[in-house]
């Protein structure tokens, strides 16, 4: 079966709302499995980013994610949640985030989850209200629109493991890279970073990182799965307020494939379909384009139909 | 109110900042250098933030008082506006703020006395002539009053009861609002140089497009109370929204106004149709592509998006002629040119 035919056959058996959640070829078979998961409360796609395999493992098990082959970075997915492990450092974090988000729908939920050092109790879960790149002093403020009980912190991303601790600041090595890259694909309200405190003044990390035991890190993350899931659901609830566009996409794509629209005409057509949908709560007959013949005539015809319409309050 | 308050370092010492923080003892406080770090970045979604906007307390450094746009006046020659706040707790679908700002967070500038100093300075520049200062351009003047206390301070300044800074006699104030937070106004003696202006829309339109606002009934009740208390009141029918049943809706609205208020005692009335600068419109339809009112109002007239010219004229004509049946022409200030479409009023 050719890829195109395979895509079509999968689209036929999956609900429309699930069509856009494919990640590469390998997600086609996984999407169906996802639909039965009781842990996912929304249809918005979520990207989880971790630096270490030890941070990712509890999430992979919890969300029953399956490994995707032929990826630049190690990636897992269940169709609705995709997880990427970047390796340590902000450059790798930015690269992995950008590469993965390039294949996901725009305005997906993006969540960086990882360990950090701070003068806070070991195991404490914190949400970033500010992310600072220690090297460039650049700052970002993830919008705290989604409600959450998780206390907030300023996260300072350093290039080398930090051995100083502060009550108000958590030190990590990836958040700034992740955040900067994720914002190119999404929106600040849905792009967040949460940290679990792994080292503090009474249990410091060594400068070579040798205190980082993989099982210890996994246990820290595992202990916070419930609030993490709750937070993801809050973000999903917020994302549900974004306008849905897929109802127009199929007709728009079909007409653009069948007829030659200039870029300007495509823009006009898309807006007119939006207007048509908002006024009539349905799309024009698919055959309309053929009846009108030329794209310019079709656009003019739609404009005339829309201009006649008024709203009764 | 949001669980997060961002506080600019420069605004920390303001007593108003401290008062607001004390009022929100459960909120998380985040220190920031400048409010623009949180408010201005791209990759923010106004629609999502409207669900749970944060509060930003900041210090304003310049542009306290700005010249009002042309046609934004109620008869004065010198017109200025000022905004102690950016954004609004209401969520009117037609509002231009959603096309103007990246963020829906509420910014409150807590150095109130600096606004009053600039109003004094600007009034002195036009000494001997009335100077109008419009509040409620980038926000609703009263909606967040219980939190900010700005209007309380402003009324003290305009009435001269603060003792420190007193508004010059040629300074006039318009407080534009949809809010029914009028307790402070009713406690205060009416100020001759001050007009409380309410934006009014027909009940059905307010219900469907002016989310989170007090109902038309509540606004009329507030106007009644203010008028009875001796305050000068103004009516603002702006924006007019096109509808299949336009004349029925607006006809009923004008009837209600005449029944509820002493029309001989209304300071001023203004009106204008829905209109948005094209860049704002483009941004707004990305936020709300499914909103029917934007599907109808999409006509471009010299960079302003609104209704087709003939439709606009017909709407303005109906409303202007209806209003002039109960308001004398010297109290009528349309925001768009209606000189060619007004018929002779039957009664004035």
- The overall average pLDDT reported for chain B is 94
Q: Is the pLDDT of residue B221 over 80?
A: yes
Pull the structure tokens for residue B173.
Answer: 């104030």
Please give the pLDDT value at position A164: 86
Which of chain B's residues have a Cβ under 8 Å away from the Cβ of A271?
A: 285
Mean pLDDT, range B33-48, rounded to an integer = 97
pLDDT tens digits for range B261-310: 999 999 999 999 999 999 999 999 999 998 999 999 989 999 999 999 99
pLDDT tier at A12, thresholds 50, 70, 90: very low
- The overall average pLDDT reported for chain A is 86
By Cβ distance, the residue of B48, B53, B291 closest to A241 is B48
Q: Is the pLDDT of residue B213 over 90?
A: yes
Residue A154 pairs with which residues in a beta bridge?
A: A130, A169
Please give the pLDDT value at position A163: 81
**A49, A84 in Cβ contact below 8 A?**
yes
Pull the structure tokens for residue B268.
Answer: 């001023």
Q: Class assignment of domain A3-240? A: alpha beta
- Looking up tokens 């494919």 gives A22
The nearest CA of chain A is from the CA of B289 a distance in Å of 6
**A200, A138 in Cβ contact below 8 A?**
no
Q: How many CB atoms lie within 10 A of CB A162?
A: 23
pLDDT tens digits for range B109-144: 999 999 999 999 999 999 999 999 999 899 999 999
Contact at CB, A313 and B43, closer than 8 angstroms: no
By Cβ distance, the residue of B38, B51, B249 closest to A238 is B51
Q: What ipTM was predicted for this assembly?
A: 0.92
Q: Is the pLDDT of residue B2 over 70?
A: no
- What residue ranges do the domains of chain A occupy? 3-240, 245-308
Q: Is the pLDDT of residue B204 over 80?
A: yes
**B261, B255 in Cβ contact below 8 A?**
no
Percent of chain A beyond pLDDT 70? 84
Q: Is the pLDDT of residue A232 over 60?
A: yes
- Strand (E) or helix (H) holding B122: helix B112-125
Give the least confident one: A212-226, A284-298, B183-197. Answer: A284-298
pLDDT tens digits for range A102-137: 999 989 999 999 999 999 999 999 999 999 999 999
Interface residue A280 vs chain B (CB under 8 A): no
Contact at CB, B241 and A275, closer than 8 angstroms: no
Which of chain A's residues have a Cβ under 8 Å away from the Cβ of B46?
A: none
Contact at CB, B51 and A145, closer than 8 angstroms: yes
What gap in Å lies between CA B290 and CA A192, rounded to an integer?
28
The nearest CA of chain A is from the CA of B205 a distance in Å of 6
What gap in Å lies between CA B64 and CA B80, rounded to an integer?
10
Please give the pLDDT value at position B256: 98
> Strands, DSSP E only, in B110-253?
131-135, 171-177, 194-199, 210-211, 232-240
Q: Is the pLDDT of residue A247 over 80?
A: no
pLDDT tier at B231, thresholds 50, 70, 90: very high
Mean pLDDT, range A41-57, rounded to an integer = 89
pLDDT tens digits for range A177-196: 999 999 999 999 999 999 99
Please give the pLDDT value at position A244: 77
- Interface mutation vs chain A, best among B3, B48, B93, B247, most A CBs within 10 Å: B48
Name the residue in chain A with its Cα closest to that of B208.
A313
C-alpha distances in angstroms, B96 versus A157, A213, B138?
A: 38, 54, 9
Give the least confident one: A224-228, A260-264, B114-118, B246-250. Answer: A260-264
pLDDT tens digits for range A13-44: 333 333 334 444 444 333 333 333 434 445 68
**B335, B238 in Cβ contact below 8 A?**
yes
> Strands, DSSP E only, in chain A?
46-50, 66-68, 74-77, 81-85, 109-117, 125-133, 139-140, 152-157, 169-172, 191-199
Angle at B91 between CA B178 and CA B268, to 5 degrees: 25
By Cβ distance, the residue of B45, B244, B289 closest to A311 is B244
What gap in Å lies between CA B288 and CA B182, rounded to an integer?
32
Closest of B103, B98, B117 to residue B49, by C-alpha: B103
pLDDT tier at B226, thresholds 50, 70, 90: very high
What is the β-pairing status of strands B194-199 and B232-240? parallel
Name the residue in chain B with its Cα closest to that of A308.
B296
pTM, whole model, 2 decimals?
0.90
Give the least confident one: A218-232, A285-299, B9-23, B162-176. Answer: A285-299
Q: Which of A:256-275 have CB within 8 Å of B?
A: 271, 274-275
- Interface mutation vs chain B, best among A126, A130, A310, A311, most B CBs within 10 Å: A311
- Interface mutation vs chain B, best among A132, A145, A183, most B CBs within 10 Å: A145
Please give the pLDDT value at position A223: 98
Please give the pLDDT value at position B218: 98
Please give the pLDDT value at position A162: 82
Please give the pLDDT value at position A34: 37
Which of chain A's residues have a Cβ under 8 Å away from the Cβ of B290?
A: 243, 274, 277-278
Q: How many CB atoms lie within 10 A of CB A102?
A: 9
> Per mean pLDDT, which of A30-39, A55-64, A250-259 is the most reliable?
A55-64
Angle at A101 between CA A100 and CA A106, to 5 degrees: 160
Residue A287 pairs with which residues in a beta bridge?
A: none
Interface residue A167 vs chain B (CB under 8 A): no
pLDDT tens digits for range B314-344: 999 999 999 999 999 999 999 887 777 766 5
């Amino acid at each position: 079966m050719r890829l195109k035919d395979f895509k079509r056959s999968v689209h036929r058996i999956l609900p429309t709302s699930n069509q856009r959640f494919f990640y590469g070829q390998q997600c086609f078979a996984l999407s169906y499995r996802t639909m039965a998961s009781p842990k996912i409360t929304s249809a918005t796609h979520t990207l989880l980013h971790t630096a270490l395999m030890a941070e990712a493992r509890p999430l992979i098990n919890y969300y029953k994610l399956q490994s995707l082959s032929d990826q630049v970075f190690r990636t897992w997915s269940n169709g609705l949640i995709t997880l990427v492990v970047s390796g340590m450092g902000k450059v790798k974090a930015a690269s992995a985030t950008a590469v993965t988000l390039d294949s996901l729908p725009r305005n997906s939920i993006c969540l960086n989850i990882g360990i950090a050092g701070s003068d806070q109790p070991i195991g404490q879960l914190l949400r970033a209200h500010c992310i600072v790149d220690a090297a460039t002093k650049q700052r970002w403020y993830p919008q705290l629109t989604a409600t959450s009980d998780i206390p907030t912190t300023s996260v300072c991303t350093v290039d080398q493991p930090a051995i100083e601790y502060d009550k108000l600041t958590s030190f990590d090595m990836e958040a700034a890279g992740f955040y900067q890259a994720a914002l190119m694909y999404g929106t600040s309200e849905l792009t967040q970073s949460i940290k679990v405190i792994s080292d503090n003044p009474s249990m410091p990390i060594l400068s070579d990182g040798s205190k980082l035991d993989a099982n210890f890190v996994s246990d820290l993350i595992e202990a916070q799965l419930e609030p993490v899931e709750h937070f993801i659901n809050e973000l999903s609830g917020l994302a549900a307020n974004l306008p849905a566009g897929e109802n127009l996409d199929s007709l728009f794509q079909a007409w653009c494939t069948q007829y030659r629209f200039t870029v300007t005409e495509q823009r006009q057509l898309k807006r007119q379909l939006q207007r048509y949908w908002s006024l009539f709560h349905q799309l024009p007959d698919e055959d309309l384009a053929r009846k009108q013949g030329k794209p310019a005539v079709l656009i003019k015809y739609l404009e005339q139909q829309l201009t006649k319409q008024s709203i009764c309050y | 109110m949001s669980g997060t308050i961002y506080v600019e370092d420069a605004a920390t010492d303001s007593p108003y900042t401290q008062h607001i923080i004390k009022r929100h003892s459960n909120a998380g406080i985040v220190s920031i250098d400048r409010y623009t770090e949180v408010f201005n970045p791209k990759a923010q979604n106004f629609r999502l933030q409207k669900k749970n906007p944060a509060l930003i307390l900041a210090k304003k450094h310049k542009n306290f008082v700005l010249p009002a746009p042309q046609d934004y006046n109620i008869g004065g020659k010198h017109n200025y506006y000022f905004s102690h706040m950016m954004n609004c707790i209401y969520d009117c679908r037609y509002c231009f703020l959603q096309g103007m700002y990246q963020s829906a967070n509420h910014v409150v500038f807590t150095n109130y006395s600096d606004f009053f100093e600039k109003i004094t300075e600007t009034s002195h520049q036009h000494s001997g002539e009335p100077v109008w200062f419009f509040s409620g351009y980038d926000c609703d003047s009263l909606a967040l009053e219980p939190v900010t206390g700005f209007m309380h301070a402003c009324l003290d300044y305009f009435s001269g009861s603060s003792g420190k800074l007193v508004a010059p006699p040629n300074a006039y104030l318009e407080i534009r609002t949809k809010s029914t937070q009028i307790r402070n106004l009713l406690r205060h003696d009416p100020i001759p140089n001050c007009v409380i202006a309410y934006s009014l829309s027909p009940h059905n339109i307010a219900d469907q497009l002016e989310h989170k606002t007090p109902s038309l009934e509540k606004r009329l009740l507030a106007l009644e109370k203010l008028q009875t208390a001796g305050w000068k009141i103004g009516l603002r029918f702006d924006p007019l929204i096109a509808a299949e049943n336009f004349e029925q809706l607006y006809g009923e609205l004008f009837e209600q106004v005449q029944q509820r208020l002493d029309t001989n005692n209304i300071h001023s009335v203004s009106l204008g149709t829905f209109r948005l600068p094209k860049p704002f419109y483009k941004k707004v339809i990305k936020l709300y592509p499914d909103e029917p009112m934007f599907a109808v109002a999409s006509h471009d007239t010299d960079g302003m998006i609104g209704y087709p010219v003939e439709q606009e004229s017909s709407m303005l004509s109906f409303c202007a002629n209806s209003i002039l049946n109960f308001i004398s022409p010297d109290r009528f200030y349309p925001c768009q040119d209606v000189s060619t479409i007004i018929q002779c009023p039957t009664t004035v």
